[in-house]
Amino acid sequence: MPSSTAPPPGDWLAAAPGAVQAVNRFVEVNRPPEADSASLCGEIGRYYGLPRDAVLVGPGTASLLHGIVARHAPAGGSVVFSEPSFFLYRWLVEAYGLTHRAVPLRDYRHDVAAIGAAITQDTRLVLVDSPNNVTGTTISLPEVRALAQRLPAGAVLVFDNVYGEYAPERIESDFGSTIGSGLPIVICRSFSKARQLFGLRVGYLLGAPSLLRAVGPRVLRYDVSGPAQAAAVASMQDEESMRRNVRLMAAAVEEAAALLGAQGFRVVAGHAGSVLIDCRERGPALPDALRSAGCDVRSDHPGLPDHVQLLISDHTTVGRVRAALRSASLTGAT
């Protein structure tokens, strides 16, 4: 079994070569980064066919989400999100003393009708991760727009699409009409996932410029480092490296899900770089075996007891799943 600290082989996810070169060649460490990530905003804007000021770049999407919650917190009110979804939503809402309205997933999917029903006059924010970070399921932009129509004045819907590149539906061409619709929607994307620049901390929001100014997070002009900006620009110019990562991730998710499914486990093979496994009928033997085999397995997701999320963390994961399924403890359970 290869060690997870070994460098990934040539057939695993990787940053765009130009992005790695941009970091390696970066020498101007004494100079300030480009203010407000201006060139990167321009590059991202060109990619989506949006004006530069419809893009707000920050040091990771988590930081941008933090900034949005912090911006709304002084007014109080409630934040609506599904549970489970990205754990940070509940964490931020509690940290800022806001009220949360957590809506259970339904059949592993966002329950759009229930989210709509949870929106009230005191709602300040609706946070929707699609793909959902736990199940990998998605909701459509028309559903997002329908939810945004229910928001009271001043509230915002955040469509957290950091895993968007991993989803099979190509929705980017509708981003322009969505943010141009006049509805209070901001879209999050990240360089951490399909673009594999997690360590550099770069994420961005897309939204109507007036909306980003009015309710967006405060990002300071030098918040994103020079190497991170340079790498992100190079990444935006290399679509094929990103697409290759998407293909490799989809194949790994499919293979892990097939191995588990062949042993009779019910799985959700979503689009968030993970596989959700229903262990209700089989007890803890599989999670224990996966952990012993060195897999990154997350449990205790609110509302999904006896389910575990297997993260496809690196090129060794599928081999580790195979080893776990062969292990004695699991054989005894099957």
Ligand X SMILES: Cc1ncc(COP(=O)(O)O)c(C=O)c1O
d(CA 15, CA 20): 7
Residue 252 phi/psi, 5° resolution? Answer: -70, -40
Give the nearest distance from C-beta 67 to ligand X in angstroms: 12
65/151 with CB nearer ligand X: 65
Say which residue the tokens 């009110």 belong to. 77
275/330 with CB nearer ligand X: 275
- Is 86 an interacting residue with respect to ligand X (CB under 6 A)? yes
Give the nearest distance from C-beta 328 to ligand X in angstroms: 34
d(CA 191, CA 194): 7
Contacts made by residues 293-301, CB under 8 angstroms, sequence distance 24+: 293/1, 293/320, 293/321, 293/323, 293/324, 293/327, 294/1, 294/4, 294/320, 295/320, 295/321, 295/324, 298/134, 301/84, 301/134
Q: Contact 138/147 with Cβ under 8 angstroms?
A: no
- Is 37 an interacting residue with respect to ligand X (CB under 6 A)? no
185/325 with CB nearer ligand X: 185
Torsion of CA 195, 244, 269, 325, to 10 degrees: -110
Give the nearest distance from C-beta 104 to ligand X in angstroms: 17
- Is 67 an interacting residue with respect to ligand X (CB under 6 A)? no
What six digits make up the tokens of 5? 């600290």
Pick from 40, 56, 60, 66: which binds ligand X (CB under 6 A)? 60
Pick from 36, 43, 143, 160: which binds ligand X (CB under 6 A)? 160
- Is 81 an interacting residue with respect to ligand X (CB under 6 A)? no
Give the nearest distance from C-beta 160 to ligand X in angstroms: 5
- Is 309 an interacting residue with respect to ligand X (CB under 6 A)? no
Binding mask 116-155 for ligand X (x = CB under 6 A): -------------x---x----------------------
Q: Residues 294, 296, 301, 307: is their CA dihedral positive or negative?
A: negative
- Is 83 an interacting residue with respect to ligand X (CB under 6 A)? no
Residue 278: Cβ within 10 Å count: 16
- Is 203 an interacting residue with respect to ligand X (CB under 6 A)? yes
Residue 232 phi/psi, 5° resolution? Answer: -65, -40
Q: In whole angstroms, how far apart are CA 165 and each of 93, 221, 245?
A: 27, 27, 9
241/274 with CB nearer ligand X: 274
Pick from 78, 137, 190, 225: which binds ligand X (CB under 6 A)? 190
- Is 225 an interacting residue with respect to ligand X (CB under 6 A)? no
- Is 290 an interacting residue with respect to ligand X (CB under 6 A)? no
83/129 with CB nearer ligand X: 129
Q: Contact 296/311 with Cβ under 8 angstroms?
A: yes
Q: In whole angstroms, how far apart are CA 266 and each of 28, 125, 234, 308, 312?
A: 52, 34, 40, 11, 17
198/222 with CB nearer ligand X: 198
- Is 198 an interacting residue with respect to ligand X (CB under 6 A)? yes
Give the nearest distance from C-beta 82 to ligand X in angstroms: 11
Pick from 125, 162, 257, 297: which binds ligand X (CB under 6 A)? 162
Q: Which residues contribute to the site for ligand X (CB under 6 A)?
A: 60-62, 86, 129, 133, 160, 162, 190, 192, 198, 203
